[in-house]
């Protein structure tokens, strides 16, 4: 297992920010993943998984950890009966494509979520009223002590959250799907993508939703829009003029700029709506967003 050093994470996040990883591994099989995890444990290094980096902000001065990106077998998708078995590093796009070709539906809602299947488990990703918790049968979770299958109930998937702890790596996922004609799948996907393009900055560098929506409150995006934050800029990062729950890299943004925007957005939401916005984006390295707005 080759361990690389000083790999720039800006190249691995959709927002395009982040400093170097102290150590970086690209395991292509479960054995290689376990070897990398043992390497980290032996060296006292924390483990961070990066999928497509589509909901991830990494510290500008780098991440003191072994950063792992799943490749090879761990990014493949196999169709099995009325479901698929996807590597944790398989992209949602490939998974959807394979399912559609096999005439299996149910994963269409993921068409506009630019992540991996493993990242989807960790975040319980979702859209259009559906999420991973409706499809996952079980997930193979690896740590330095080995790998074990966890049933859906053990993963405790809830709104954009799971019970997976830092350093636990989703290596493989079994998804339950249902037979559906390919044309119907194509039509649903086309419709959902058109809806996305109309409302979200799909052609910009972002990390998806910044904050979670709270039940019973207006959505975080609408709230921040009413705070007058659309187009608000700090350094190279700007609150999307199209959807205020997105931060765009307008050129030369740093993760620090994004955090500064998040601090200001939370301050304004608390002041104007009495709402304490909870972040959705995962932070790695020394990044922090204080519990209370300042
Ligand atoms: C334009 C855009 C639109 C988006 N729309 C949506 C949406 O509609 N709904 C939604 O839910 N999200 C959305 N997102 C956010 C993001 O795509 C999802 O959260 C996605 O599931 C993250 O997957 P990822 O592989 O990129 O994970 P990353 O961003 O790389 O990582 C996110 C977290 O998951 C962990 N992780 C990643 N892979 C694994 C693994 N194999 N095992 C264990 N932990 C892992 C990381 O360590 C980190 O804590 C959007 C993002 C963008 C940029």
Q: How far apart are CA 287 and CA 214, in angstroms?
A: 23
pLDDT at 293: 65
**Rounded to the nearest whole angstrom, what is the distance from the C-alpha of residue 119 to the centroid of ligand 1?**
5
CA distances from 135 to 156, 200, 211, 288 (A): 13, 25, 24, 32
pLDDT the model gives residue 1: 80
Task: Give distance in angstroms: CA of 138 to centre of ligand 1.
Answer: 18
Supply the pLDDT for residue 56.
97
In Å, what is the CA distance from 97 to each residue of 17, 72, 271? Answer: 29, 18, 45
Closest ligand 1 atom to Cα of 280? 19
Q: Is 57 in the pocket of ligand 1 (CB under 6 A)?
A: no
Catalytic status, residue 160: yes
> What pLDDT, on a 0 to 100 scale, did the predictor assign at position 216?
79
Tens digits of residue pLDDT in 191-239: 999 999 999 999 999 999 999 998 878 999 999 999 999 999 999 999 9
Residue 215's pLDDT is 81
- Cβ-proximal residues to 4 (8 Å cutoff; 6+ apart), any chain: 23, 24, 25, 26
CB 112 within 8 A of CB 119: no
Q: How far, in Å, is the centroid of ligand 1 from the Cα of 166?
A: 15
Angstrom CA distances, 131 to 21, 135, 277, stand at 30, 8, 21
The residue ranges of the chain whose pLDDT is under 50 are: none
What is the Cβ-side half-sphere exposure of residue 283, based on CA atoms within 13 angstroms?
Answer: 17
Decide if 278 is catalytic: no
């Amino acid at each position: 297992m080759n361990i690389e050093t000083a790999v720039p994470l800006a190249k691995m996040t959709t927002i395009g920010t982040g400093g170097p990883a102290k150590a970086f591994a690209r395991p292509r099989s479960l054995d290689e993943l376990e070897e990398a995890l043992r390497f980290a444990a032996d060296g006292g290094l924390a483990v961070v998984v990066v999928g497509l980096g589509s909901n991830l902000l990494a510290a500008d001065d780098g991440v003191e950890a072994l950063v792992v990106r799943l490749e090879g077998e761990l990014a493949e998708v196999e169709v099995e009966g009325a479901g698929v078995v996807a590597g944790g590093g398989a992209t949602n796009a490939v998974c959807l494509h394979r399912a559609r070709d096999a005439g299996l539906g149910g994963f269409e809602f993921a068409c506009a979520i630019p992540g991996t299947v493993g990242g989807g488990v960790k975040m319980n990703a979702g859209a259009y009223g559906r999420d991973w918790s409706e499809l996952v049968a079980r997930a193979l979770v690896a740590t330095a002590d080995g790998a074990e299958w966890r049933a859906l109930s053990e993963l405790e998937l809830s709104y954009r959250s799971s019970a997976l702890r830092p350093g636990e790596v989703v290596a493989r996922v079994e998804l339950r799907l249902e037979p559906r004609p390919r044309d119907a799948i194509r039509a649903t996907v086309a419709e959902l993508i058109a809806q996305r393009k109309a409302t979200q900055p799909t052609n910009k560098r972002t990390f998806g939703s910044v904050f979670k929506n709270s039940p019973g409150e207006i959505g975080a995006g609408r709230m921040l829009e009413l705070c007058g934050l659309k187009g608000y800029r700090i350094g190279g990062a700007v609150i999307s003029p199209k959807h205020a729950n997105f931060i765009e890299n307008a050129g030369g943004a740093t993760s620090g700029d994004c955090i500064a925007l998040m601090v200001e957005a939370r301050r304004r939401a608390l002041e104007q709506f009495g709402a304490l916005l909870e972040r959705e984006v995962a932070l790695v390295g020394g990044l922090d967003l204080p519990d209370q707005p300042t």
